[in-house]
Structure 1
């Protein structure tokens, strides 16, 4: 029994395990099977829109590939994902740490504001309720890679970093780690945040748009993304057409820098709205809003240390680091916020 696709955060793992795989049989006449439960050895499947939070599955209403799915990207894997067989096995000389993540509060007391009892309680893993007391920011990045496959290669194989979610040009969400893990994506915000890397080649000064000219071209229907043949595409169709939202490049100022960027795709916005709605439903300290300036629009400067400590909600990487400008001037904060509001209202 499943809720409708527009009811994010509604399915627990126990409910998922109660139903047999499509086309399978529950074998309810098994001598030892309990009513409503599948017999031992019965293969089960999920619906394909769930994320994992503290070991539990929750619907989002949008397609998701988990790290253990075919075609998923496994942030727990020590080995290198995109290297040839002779170089894939991790060694101390690989240039990256064996683990590219850690616990939000580990057994050595990474955070000093927890009691000994609280630290002891999470040594073997977080519960959703415990996470809800800690997680209060959702950090938006663009990946400057253009595809989620290449983003994972850069993070996992080369830089020794991680992020809980990636969002590809076609709207597919990849989850690489349980949200309970402390991914390495936003420095000081890692312990309190969830991160997402959105496939987008980035923002550039108006006098240096050569990268944008390579990645975007016009056809009879408008602008489209030109997928490169020199980097992994994952499940993206090399002949597929993926279009940025809007009529062309968007200009804007971040950290007093003039920048030009093409927007996300409509499919990316749809998926991001569903994921954001799910996370704001699951985490009581994570509201559906973002830092605003005096004009009520998104603040495009770094937050002061105190403002950052005090703020809970959706944040840009630029709010955390004066050297970062992602997710860029084209990112439509109100489209996300209002989309979440509408989705949860439904």
Structure 2
């Protein structure tokens, strides 16, 4: 019986002829420790490569910048609003309310000092020593000792050895709130008088800008003429017209500053800060990914000052872009209209409606 031989299949005895740690060709194979080290090195290289890719991706990613919102313009001050600001200050007389605040808080300060001084001077130990001396003096004179224990107990029960913080702070806060309420009532009380003064000043300003415009037009110039153009023109009245225009623009700015001041008072009221009465300032503009729509509307929406700046005329069809420009451009637009088209200026009587509409 013949036996066939397949060279692809090693004979059974070949398995027993291999050397430990060698392959069929006799090549030495790594042991388990070496294989483990090789696997760990490969895993480390893969981890480093993955970390490098993730770091490069993170550096390439630029987070979106939150939309920046410009800060609200500050509330104008009457002291900076020229003659019309002085007139309104004399009508409102906030100095009286501020004086009442100063005198009331001064009285609290005085009483607090008196209580502190009395507590330091007339303390329990001093009372006991005084009563003991009185009793001993009477006993030495063989007289009946005066009441000693009971007066001390009564005094200790009724004495004030400090000013309770809750009471003092509550009293000061109540005075501050009362001053703010009285200041707001003072503005409401003379709102009609302020309106009349503002409108009268606005009419005078518009008469001046109209006169300056007509005089410059006769000289072949516009209200936007440069100093060089005025000099080169040679018209004797042109320079005076330019000066009238500039002073009128400044006065118009003061009129609008007073209107903005009144609007901010009606919108936000007054507050006491460091003992000084002032209009509550606009809220700080907020931004960030966690800002809610409600918070954004409350803090970032146009405030009373901006809304007033955008409503300077009665039933006006003025371009909306004028609300963000200065008084020069506003008045230049106004004189560019025909006399029948020129709108009337707004005062402060309408600001209650304007303020509430913007809220």
Same-fold status (TM-score > 0.5): no
Q: 1 or 2 for the larger relative contact order (CA 8 Å, sep ≥6)?
A: 2
Structure having the higher helix fraction is 2
Structure having the higher strand fraction is 1
